[in-house]
Each structure stands twice: as structure tokens, then as C-alpha cells.
Amino acid sequence: MADNKYSNRKKPAATGLEMGKLPPQVTDLEEAVLGALLLEKEAFLSVSELLKPEHFYKEANQHIYKAILDLEAHEQPVDMLTVTQQLKKMTKLEECGGAFYITQLTSKVASAAHIEYHARIIWQKYLQRQMIQISSELQGKAYDDSIDVNDLLEEAESTFFMLSQGSMKRDATQINPVIQDAIDRIKEASERDDGMSGVASGFAALDKITSGWQGSALIILAARPAMGKTAFVLSMARQMALVHKTPVAIFSLEMSNLELVNRLIVTETELSADKIKKGNLAPYEWEQLDHKIQNLIDAPIFVDDTAGLSVFELRAKCRRLKKQHDIQCVIIDYLQLMNASGMNPGSRQEEVSLISRNLKGLAKELDVPIIALSQLNRGVEGRAGAEGKRPQLSDLRESGAIEQDADMVCFIHRPEYYRITEDEEGNSLIGMAELIIAKHRAGPTADVRLRFRAELARFQDVEDAEYEDNAFSQSNSPTQVLGSKMNENEGADGSVPAGGQQLPEFPEGPGFNSDVPF
């Protein structure tokens, strides 16, 4: 049969290459890059930020590149003789094939003209090998029934995330396009009636200082327990979503989604939390609940109550929310409950430092403000006097890196909590709160007065609360911003006139109006 005329032909024996696969590699380009480094002094500048010894596939080439790095670090000349001597010191010369192998590297290339292009190919092959190795290890673990699938998913995500982070290289940018971007943002801000250049918080006094929460900023909001951290961010998220139609994501590591939504319902409906919890509502209150709850149903608020959230999970979730819903602000409640799974920190302080650093990186990547709640240590409780109870930057819990990485650090302070019911002028402090802006990288520090309505777990601008309950006779007076006392020793007055009005000065501190209750 014609179809079988080749059936008896002997097949060639299978070779090793046909039976398996070699890892991605370009040893000829590795030798060309090393040869170029031996020939031209300036060649090292083209590859120093891109290549590391482990990026080379051939072990001998790894040792040679390491020898070149050592010579460059000590500002020694790099050529065949110096590299050979350095390899002798490292006791690696024979492993690299001796002086002959070093000599013949220079014959692999005529010049260093294409060294950067060659180096990028070497780097890409290294990434391919890493992906193969990671995938192989994950495949083996996927067959192991003793490993929890959620732990495996988190490991896969964190491992590939670290690989992608290590591969990100950004070159310096000429200032011209950056200036143009800055001008565009200024023009955009000028076209807004509210004067905001960032995401409006909904608190008029605060927004006058910040011009809104700025994109790529990491804001730390810290306080002692029971000061109202969660109440503040929920009050803010409600105003962002309902008043300004700003999509906001809330990651709650402490409370469930149901608890968060219940608190939002209390804030929106102005029904007491106790009544909402027990369902003990009068007929008219049920109508009030049904009517006002409609505002929340379609609000662009996205809640996530994943317990023990890792920074890698957060990044993945935020990327997804940004792509699908274009979120403009991220709130995390709270930072100390997060973990840096997969990064193997040596201590809890190092872990918190890694978390804060990654949060800042995420804010820059998504170009959205990230507001992370944080606990304070017990130092506040141990200090005496009204001024001693005011939080300080040194009170931030577990890591000084939080202060370092943050663009803004704010404290919530309610004197009433410490049974301080009057200020030095005899003005009532009951129901009053301060938002202390202790660090502001892009603007002034200040103390912002707010009203805290405990029965609704809600923060409000002072004039809004005064208008609602008619508790003060001057409800239409402009919002007052107090100069932060925290930075008086640094020589900054911190005073920010509200509405263009010049605030009078008093001995207590510049910008402090003793005629207005604190």
C-alpha cells in the first residue's frame, strides 16, 4: 500500500532535547555582555540598574559578573586582568574555566553598542525561568490535599506580586511632561466651584486645609480606642458617596460588612443605634427608615470585611475595584490588623513598616488617597492634664515608619472622653472633637473643630450640627480652624483663616479664637 511505504523506515533515536525542555537561556548574549563590560568602561552604566548576578543562567557568568560588581564598588578598573585577579580572590577562577575563558569573552563582541538591548533579553529570560520555577512549585502543592487552597492562592498571588515588583524599572523623566501634568491639574481645580483639587472629605473645615484628599497620598488617621475612628471614616464615606458621588472602598478588618452597613444606616436615617439593633421602631420610624435608606441602596460604597487581610490581597482587590468601579478613595480599618504575608519580616515592627511602605506604593500606583486607621500606644493615658491627653506623633503604635511613609498624619481627640468638659475659657467641650493634623507634607498643620453626635456615631462640621440642634446662637458663623499647638515648638503658627477672615491672635497661641467654644 502506498500509504505504508514509509512505515518500515527506522526512526531516529530520541535525543535529550526531544525528551525534555531546556530552561529559557541566552548564554551567547551573556558572554557578549560580559565581553563588552571588559572592553569598555562606560558599558557598566547601561546595565548596572538592570542586571544582577542571579540573572545570568550560566554559573560561571554569574561569578564573573559578581567580580565586575565588586571591582566597580571599589572604583577599580575592569578588564581581563583585574577580573581574573578578583576571581582568584573569590576562589572562583577555576570554576569559571580559568583565565582562558575570561580572555575569549572579549572575542564575542566588537563593541558595547547593543549591550543594553542584550541585557534586557538576559533579564527577560531570567523572569521566564522564575515563572517556570514558581509555577512548578505551585503545581506540586496543588496536588497536596493537606494544603488549604486559600493559603495556596494567597501564596501564588504574593509570590508573583513580588516577582512583578522586582521587575518594575522606571527611568528618570524629563521635567517638561511633569510640568504639563501639574498645569492640567491646576486648571482642572480652577474649574471646580468648590476649589477642590482632590477628593472632598465632606467636612468643610478640613477641605479648606487639604483642598480634598490628594491622589497618591497615604493618610494615617490615628486615635485611642473609642475615640470614633470608624465613625469618622464612615461619616466621611457617606458624604463622599452620597453628596459628591465619589466611589469609595472600605476594607474593615475589625467589623463585619453587616455591622458597617448598620452604622451607615444609623448615620443616614438619624435613628438611634440601639433602636436599629433591636428593631424597636415606631411606625413613623419605620417610614423614616424606609425613606432614607433609599439614599444608601445605590451609593457607590464598596465594603470588604476580609479578616487578616494581607497587603497583597489588598493590592489585588483595589486594582480590581479601580478597574471595575473607578474607586477614588480607599479606607482601611485598621492598619495594625493587616499582615505582610509572604514577605517574612523579622519582627512586628518590621511587618508594620512593610505594610505602610506598600500602602504608600499602592496609593501611588492607583493615584488615589488611601486612608488607613491606626491605633495609638498607651502614652496618652499616662500623661496628665488637658494638654497631656492630646495625641502626639510619638504615640503612633508599633512603628516609626508609619509617620515616615505617611503624607498626612491626623489624630482624633475628644476631651470629653477624658472627662474634660470645659476649656481654659470655660467653654463647653461636651460633644466637641478635634481633628489634629499633626503632619501635612503638602500643606499646613492645624486643628479642626468638629461636632461628634454619639447617638448617631456621626461627625459633622460644627455649623451644621449647630443648625440642626439650635444649640448655639451663632449658627451661621464661619467654620473655625485652630492653629495646631503640636508644632508650636517648631515655629510654625499653623493658623489657617476660614473664608478669608483674619483670625485674632491670643496669648494661648496664634490663630486661637477664645470667643468660640472649642
Closest C-alpha to 101, from 149, 63, 147, 138: 63
* Cell representation of residue 476: 451661621
Radius of gyration of the chain (CA): 31
CA distance 459 to 435: 10
Q: Which residues of 473-499 are buried (b: 16+ CB within 10 A; e: fewer)?
A: eeeebbbbbbbbbbbeeeeebbbbebe
CA distance 34 to 119: 10
CA distance 391 to 498: 24
* Beta-carbon contacts of residue 439 (< 8 Å; ≥ 6 apart): 393, 403, 406, 408, 409, 445
Length of the chain: 518
SS3 145: coil
SS3 317: helix
* Cell representation of residue 386: 488637658
* Beta-carbon contacts of residue 248 (< 8 Å; ≥ 6 apart): 237, 240, 241, 300, 301, 302, 327, 328, 329, 330, 331
Q: Which residues pair with 446 in a beta bridge?
A: 437, 483
Cα torsion angle, 54, 58, 61, 67, sign: positive
* Beta-carbon contacts of residue 513 (< 8 Å; ≥ 6 apart): 480, 482, 503, 504, 506
Active site residue 254: yes
Q: Which of 157, 254, 285, 365 is catalytic?
A: 254
By annotation, the residues acting in catalysis are 254
